[in-house]
């Protein structure tokens, strides 16, 4: 394995990329190149084999209800490897639909319940009377974020002792209209409803880049310390 080649897994990009969420991966590739690293992005789709241990970073974008229904049927094959990867403190980033599928379920507008991986204690309910769309502005542990949201799914934490918000809202809706928080942070796993892409906010992108580099160094034997988990979490 090359010390300067970082492997990234992009889950179901052909189905879960409604708002061009893979732009986040392109930004990471650019920033990693600036740090003198090359990247290889594997797009993992329906029927593909996947072992998260082979990667320094895993990305999962958003999709519409139909695409989520299709992906939800294939995704359970990967639950064990994703859950192990997350709980070990490795970096993973999910947007919108990918966020929702990490929870126990997503109830659609038609009343159909899409079963998630149930890795994290959260659930999502589609509220047809409340489209959450527009600019968002929130504060994270890495500073402020300005981006864009467009969703009717409202996500709720089922265990607030385990899950913590990624950010506190200043403008916009975030997870839902009641809680005034955006996304979640669990160890080095981040979920968000932010598109545009989110990582145009370079303060956040740089922190994720450092997580990826540390994870890569552990994988290549250049670093023996596990990926650092945020002190707050």
Q: What residues are labeled active site?
A: 96, 195
The conformation of residue 31, written as its DSSP 8-state character, comes to H
Sheet holding 153-157: strands in order across? 113-115, 105-107, 122-126, 153-157
Cβ atoms within 10 Å of 47's Cβ, excluding its own: 7
Closest C-alpha to 122, from 188, 171, 196, 176: 176
List of residues 6+ apart from 48 with CB closer than 8 A: none
Beta bridge partners of residue 80, listed in sequence order:
none
Q: Where are the beta strands (DSSP E) in 62-112?
A: 92-95, 105-107
- Rounded to 5 degrees, what are φ and ψ at 71? -65, -40
Cβ atoms within 10 Å of 46's Cβ, excluding its own: 12
Cβ atoms within 10 Å of 120's Cβ, excluding its own: 23
Measured distance CA(39)–CA(208) in Å, rounded: 14
Contacts of 100-107 spanning 24+ positions with Cβ under 8 A: 100/68, 100/124, 100/153, 100/155, 101/60, 101/68, 101/71, 101/72, 101/75, 102/60, 102/191, 103/155, 104/158, 106/68, 106/153
């Amino acid at each position: 394995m090359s010390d300067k080649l970082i492997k990234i897994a992009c889950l179901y990009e052909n189905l879960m990329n409604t708002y061009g969420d893979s732009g986040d991966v392109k930004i990471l590739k650019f920033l990693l190149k600036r740090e003198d690293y090359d990247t290889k992005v594997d797009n993992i789709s329906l029927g593909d084999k996947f072992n998260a241990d082979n990667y320094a970073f895993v990305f999962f974008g958003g999709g519409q209800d139909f695409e989520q229904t299709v992906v939800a049927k294939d995704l359970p094959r990967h639950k064990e490897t994703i859950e192990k990867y997350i709980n070990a403190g490795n970096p993973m980033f999910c947007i919108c639909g990918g966020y929702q599928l990490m929870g126990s379920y997503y109830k659609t507008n038609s009343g159909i319940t899409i079963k998630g991986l149930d890795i994290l204690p959260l659930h999502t309910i589609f509220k047809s009377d409340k489209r959450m769309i527009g600019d968002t502005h929130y504060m994270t542990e890495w500073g402020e974020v300005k981006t864009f949201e467009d969703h009717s799914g409202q996500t709720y934490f089922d265990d607030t002792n385990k899950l913590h918000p990624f950010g506190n809202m200043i403008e916009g809706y975030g997870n839902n209209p009641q809680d005034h928080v955006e996304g979640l942070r669990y160890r080095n796993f981040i979920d968000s409803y932010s598109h545009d892409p989110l990582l145009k906010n370079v303060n956040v992108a740089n922190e994720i880049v450092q997580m990826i580099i540390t994870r890569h160094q552990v994988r290549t034997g250049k670093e023996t310390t596990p990926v650092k988990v945020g002190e707050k979490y």
